[in-house]
Amino acid sequence: MFYSIRHVTRHRYDAPVRESVMQLYMQPKSEGAQRLQSFQVATNPRAGLQAYTDHFGNAVYHFDVPGEHQELTVEADADVEVMAMPAPPEWVDASAWAALDTPQLKGENYDMLAPHGVAHPTAALAAFLSAHTLAKTSDPMTTMRRLNRVLFEAFAYAPEETDVDSPIDVALQKRAGVCQDFAHIMIATARGWGIPTRYVSGYLYTKREAGDRSAADATHAWVEALVPGAGWVGFDPTNNVLAGERHIRVAIGRDYSDVPPSRGVFKGPANGELAVAVCVTPAQAPRRRDDFLRVVRPLTNNVERPDAGGAEAQQQQ
């Protein structure tokens, strides 16, 4: 399947700001079943972009706008092919648990086994797992499939209930959240069972007829788990599906904080707002225009110093 993706982020301020420095994780990966056909990113005001690859193999773009400005827009366009692959097995041999416990596998996947950021065990998580009798079962694949289903059934999809930096206890208490919350809960749980798991940031070609809950005009997040006998398998607890031909991978990390679509700092005492829009369409379909921008949340920077949160308010949904 071929897709065209347009991702627009716009910052507006009520007073001039300066020295904006930003980092972008917007370029889809080109590996495995996914092939990147083209990618371009532009900023307004114009800025020179520098590209590099981080230690997780993600494409990263960096730029700065030193002069004063009251609006900053980033537009990224990509064309991607995602090929259909054979479905993962329903289960794997019970010996997979022993394979996960080997020193070599643990050492090679230390980053994806250790707690990190908001993806760490809590008392609220332990209570949730106990209430739903969630524990290791006969094999890792069966265990992850059940966890995927239970998270889908136990939580409401509610974009206003959490924020990008919300700890998992917020979603656990409200039994509601968005894709990044469900991914973080799944990661914290699976790592506690000794299953290496990683956070995946990307896009989803949404189909309401398929029962998708994800917002069609936002980025998406899911989880990949290392299952001996099956490799890295994508689980999407937001929609109770395995990642497949409609999932477009952009970046992987330990949790959201490793790979936000955009983050940055600026100087200047200003209030502002962030608008973000995503459009994923089959390649042969016409793209929508930019009138699909929506306000995510207001931004405030009342001190004369870089604001680490102002430019990173973009929420995965």
What is the torsional sign of CA 91, 93, 99, 105? negative
User: Could you say which DSSP state residue 39 is in?
Assistant: E
C-alpha closest to that of 173 among 129, 120, 124:
124
Q: Is residue 317 assigned to a domain? A: no
User: Is 246 within a domain?
Assistant: yes
Task: Say yes or no: 270 and 131 in one domain.
Answer: no
Residue 111 within a domain: yes
pTM (2 decimals)?
0.90
* Residue 308 pLDDT greater than 80, yes or no: no
Least confident among 91-105, 190-204, 208-222, 227-241: 208-222
Instruction: Provide the CATH number for the domain around residue 238.
Output: 3.10.620.30
Structural domain that includes position 277: 2-82+260-312
Which residue, 258, 274, 295, sits at the end of a domain?
258
Q: Is residue 276 part of a domain?
A: yes
Confidence grade of residue 313 (pLDDT, cut at 50, 70, 90): very low
pLDDT in tens, 235-255: 999 999 999 999 999 999 999
Say whether pLDDT at 289 is over 90.
Answer: no
Task: Look over the chain and give the mean of its residue pLDDT values, rounded to a whole number.
Answer: 91
Q: Are residues 175 and 108 in the same domain?
A: yes
Max alpha carbon distance in the chain (Å)? 61
The per-residue pLDDT for 38 is 96
The beta strands (E) that lie in 108-196 are given as 156-157, 176-177
Q: Indicate if 271 and 230 belong to the same structural domain.
A: no
- Domain co-membership, 77 together with 105: no
Q: Are residues 232 and 243 in the same domain?
A: yes
With CA atoms as reference, report the closest residue to 177 among 256, 262, 251, 274: 256
Q: Are residues 166 and 105 in the same domain?
A: yes
Residues 249 and 197 occupy one common structural domain:
yes
**Residues in Cβ contact with 137 at an 8 Å cutoff, skipping those fewer than 6 apart:** 143, 146
Number of domains in the chain: 2
| CATH code for the domain in which residue 266 is found | 2.60.40.2250
Cis peptide bond upstream of 45, omega within 30:
yes
Q: Are 284 and 244 found together in one domain?
A: no
Q: What is the pLDDT, as a whole number, of residue 14?
A: 94
Task: List strands edge to edge, sheet with 231-236.
Answer: 241-242, 231-236, 220-227, 197-204, 247-253
> What string of DSSP letters covers 238-271?
TTTEE--TTEEEEEEESSGGG--SEEEEEESSEE
Say how many C-beta atoms besides its own lie within 10 A of residue 242's C-beta: 16
Asked if residue 154 and residue 60 are part of one domain, the reply reads: no
Amino acid at 308: A
Tell whether 56 is covered by a domain. Answer: yes
57 and 181 co-located in one domain:
no
Chain segment 78-128, per-residue pLDDT in tens: 999 999 999 999 999 999 999 999 999 999 999 999 999 999 999 999 999
d(CA 165, CA 136): 29
pLDDT in tens, 126-160: 999 999 999 999 999 999 999 999 999 999 999 99
SS3 state of residue 190: helix
Does the residue 89 lie in any domain?
Answer: no
Residue 61: is its pLDDT beyond 90?
Answer: yes
Supply the pLDDT for residue 300: 45
